[in-house]
Amino acid sequence: MSIFDQALTRTDGKTLILTNGSKWAGDTPDDIQVLLEVLAKNVLDPSFEQYHCYEPVPFDPLLKERGEESARKYLPWVGAATFSGNFLTVSHVFHIITQDQQVIETLQEAIRRNLEKPEYQRHAYELYADWYYAETAHGKRLVSPTQAEDIRSGNISRLRYPRNFEEMKSAKLIGPRFVKQPEKQCA
């Protein structure tokens, strides 16, 4: 049984908890409250930021590739908010799909507070000092300096971006991930 199928057996009809916590395969994931406690005490891993900027993304299970029979179980969840990530110093992987507005708002606020922590920002700066935010058809994402230049110059092609062309062809730069401080002038 897939983790999605397992989550379907535990859902309240509004939230699917695919993973939450450091569990063995088949163990029941922690509930949302445990994730909120871990978010309050530990720092998220900034390496996940490049995939979704720690913002909820719409659940998109690639239904065309699954076949009609298999796709039916996913249909009620298409477009639901998806949260995923892990932490820097503790293993607590989470992957949650929810249509519950209260859960969405609570997770967004807890994640926002976590991202504001100086330790998170320090580690994120080490990874993304020269990166940019871009808005795509799939939401906000981080792009490398090379990708940012390709967006600016219109150099987005299937050949150059075979795995994510559909997302990159719509990309518009928002601005740098970190605003650089002006250099001090000597008097």
DSSP result, 3-59: HHHHHHHH--SSEEEEEESS--TTSPPP-HHHHHHHHHHS-B-GGGHHHHTTS-EE-
pLDDT of residue 24: 74
Distance in angstroms (rounded) separating the CA atoms of residues 41 and 28: 22
Is the separation of the CB atoms in 151 and 171 below 8 Å? yes
Quickly list DSSP for 149-170: HHHHHT---TTT-TTTHHHHTT
Give residue-wise pLDDT tens across range 165-177: 988 999 999 999 9
Bridge pairing between strands 57-58 and 81-85 = antiparallel
The residue ranking higher by pLDDT, 184 or 128, is 128
Report residue 31 as tokens: 């509930």
77-106 pLDDT, tens digit per residue, is: 999 999 999 999 999 999 999 999 999 999
pTM of the model: 0.86
Mean pLDDT of 71-78: 85
